[in-house]
Amino acid sequence: MTTTTPIPLDLQKAAKDHLWMHFTRMGGFAAADVPIIVRGEGCYVEDSHGKRYLDALAGLFSVNVGYSFGEEIGQAALEQMRELPFYTNWTYAHPRAIELAAELASLAPGDLNRVFFCSGGSEAVESAWKLARQYYLARSQRKMQMVLAEPETRHDELVAMMHTPPRRYKAIGRHLAYHGTTLGALSINGIPGIRAPFEPLIPEVRHVSNTNSYHRPSDETETEFTRFLLNDLEAAILAMGPETVCLVHMEPVQNAGGSFTPPEGYWRGVREICDRYDILLSADEVITGFGRLGYWFGSERYDIRPDIITAAKGLSSSYAAIGGVIATDKVIEPFLDATSMFSHGITFGGHPVMCAIALKNIEIMKREQIIEHVRDNEQAFRATLAQLLDLPIVGDLRGAGYFYALELVKDKDTRETFSSDECEKLLRGFLSNALFEAGLICRADDRGDPVLQISPPLVAGQAEFDEIVGILGEVLTEAASLMRS
Ligand SMILES: Cc1ncc(COP(=O)(O)O)c(C=O)c1O
């Protein structure tokens, strides 16, 4: 009998022949190598040539504990695999989903006590919108049952309910905000470029102004800016018909466009408007949850008091594909009746191995005092990044916690931005490659005005801040002279 030695797979060739990468111009690899990342440690990853990179994007804003906990988290996954590799949350429960739900209820602010699990951020957003749509229906059905139980005394209410307004189903997001790619989540997205290929999307979503203050009139006060934003939100609700809107969905700090933080009074105002028109407020914490802003949830930092939180990424530090929707007691209430249920489910929602990994991640975050570390280092990180404001091409530094963006400008005095051709030359023609060559992973993004997004693992300290700024300083200096030439 002859034995054949297996030929090792040529990863580069196989990647080019078979792998379909996400949001990637595949044609760009006709003459260039696909970057293949093979291992990680702390805040660093290594490619197939053995070159190390400081991952100032934490994967995709998501490897919150960094890359060094594979052994420990892997052990938790292995133990769960041995005990119960899979069971579902359809009709049944299992210990890890119950424990994780209880843990999230204890970490989330206020009475956000109920958790519906799914496999990632898009599914979480999709689920939040579906939940909001069904919430109003379940609530009115519940009321109808109560009224029907006492038809004599509640006759007037019954008559009024015969003329119930149309269902609430519309959603409001913000311009440029990213909320995922499934059709529902994509419809809430406010990024024209990624919506366009899939139009018509789910209709009746409106996008209101985001909290980008950099290009507002220079004499506008913070109070005036807040008023402008809240007026815009209220005008949208009124134009859509308040009785038809079920959801306002926004990030505590908006990622796309470059870490837009809220002005003073903004979230208080958004909450008040949602209360006034009886609309559910959903905080998209897919990025901002689990320490990125120095709190378990950004909702706590800004006292948002949402009815719903969507979470994913940092929930497991991306060691597992898990997300969830966390809802208040008010939101679950109409679903607690004997004959009521949320008509929604996903096979892998609450997968026991994913839950075991998320539980271990949270245990590590507590033990390593990751949240405290972010709070203790936030000012130092910001101050280190602020050195880059001396460069002529860096117009603005914004963000909070470990979540920052630098806006790149053509003219710092007038805040003039680059044209789309110039952005193409600057970002795709130069920056992305130059940063990668220099050993730094961060994101050059021009879905709005051109920005560099910096969002490292939450274990990063001064040495990493200095390295980020050192590399950015050199590469951005070169970029500025390239754009002048
Ligand atoms: C705010 C926000 N919501 C939702 C999503 C979608 O998450 P996922 O890519 O896990 O589907 C993302 C992804 O980056 C996000 O940043």
Q: Do 383 and 473 share a domain, yes or no?
A: yes
342, 367, 392: which is the final residue of a domain? 367
What does the pLDDT read at residue 362? Answer: 98
Q: How far apart are CA 53 and CA 294, in angstroms?
A: 25
Q: Is residue 464 part of a domain?
A: yes
Which ligand 1 atom minimizes the distance to the CA of 122? Answer: 11
| Residue span of the structural domain in which 374 resides | 11-65+369-484
Q: Is residue 439 part of a domain?
A: yes
Q: Do 166 and 251 share a domain, yes or no?
A: yes
Indicate which residue's Cα is closest to atom 13 of ligand 1. 180
Distance 250 CA to ligand 1 centre (A): 12
Q: Do 350 and 379 share a domain, yes or no?
A: no
Distance 339 CA to ligand 1 centre (A): 33
What does the pLDDT read at residue 267? Answer: 98
* Phi and psi torsions of 262, nearest 5°: -80, 145
What does the pLDDT read at residue 234? Answer: 98
Q: Do 328 and 436 share a domain, yes or no?
A: no
Distance 187 CA to ligand 1 centre (A): 13
CB-defined site of ligand 1, < 6 Å: 60, 120-122, 125, 178-180, 251, 255, 284, 286-287, 312
What does the pLDDT read at residue 125? Answer: 98
Q: Do 359 and 386 share a domain, yes or no?
A: no
What's the CATH code of the domain at 430?
3.90.1150.10
Instruction: Going residue by residue through the chain, which has 485 residues, state the pLDDT in tens, using 9 for 90 and above.
Output: 566 777 778 999 999 999 999 999 999 999 999 999 999 999 999 999 999 999 999 999 999 999 999 999 999 999 999 999 999 999 999 999 999 999 999 999 999 999 999 999 999 999 999 999 999 999 988 888 888 888 888 888 878 777 766 789 999 999 999 999 999 999 999 999 999 999 999 999 999 999 999 999 999 999 999 999 999 999 999 999 999 999 999 999 999 999 999 999 999 999 999 999 999 999 999 999 999 999 999 999 999 999 999 999 999 999 999 999 999 999 999 999 988 999 999 999 999 999 999 999 999 999 999 999 999 999 999 999 999 999 999 999 999 999 999 999 999 999 999 999 999 999 989 999 999 999 999 999 888 899 999 999 999 999 999 999 999 999 999 999 999 88
Indicate which residue's Cα is closest to atom 3 of ligand 1. 179
367, 390, 410: which is the final residue of a domain? 367
Q: Do 350 and 409 share a domain, yes or no?
A: no
Distance 256 CA to ligand 1 centre (A): 11
What does the pLDDT read at residue 104? Answer: 98
Which residue of 61, 122, 210, 455 sits with most ligand 1 atoms within 8 Å of its CB, as the best mutation to test the pocket? Answer: 122
Indicate which residue's Cα is closest to atom 2 of ligand 1. 179
Q: Do 145 and 24 share a domain, yes or no?
A: no
Distance 338 CA to ligand 1 centre (A): 34
Distance 322 CA to ligand 1 centre (A): 12
What's the CATH code of the domain at 218?
3.40.640.10
What does the pLDDT read at residue 381? Answer: 98
Q: Is residue 306 part of a domain?
A: yes
Indicate which residue's Cα is closest to atom 4 of ligand 1. 179
Q: How far apart are CA 185 and CA 479, in angstroms?
A: 35
Buried b (16+ CB within 10 A) or exposed e, 265-297: bbbbbbbebbeebebbbbbbbbbbbbbbbbbbb
How does DSSP assign 290-356, residue by residue?
TTTTSSS-HHHHTT---SEEEE-GGGTTTSS--EEEEEEHHHHGGG-STT-------TTTT-HHHHH
What total number of domains does the chain contain?
2
Q: Is residue 71 part of a domain?
A: no
What does the pLDDT read at residue 153? Answer: 86
Q: Is residue 70 part of a domain?
A: no
Q: How far apart are CA 55 and CA 454, in angstroms?
A: 9
Confirm whether pTM is higher than 0.85.
yes
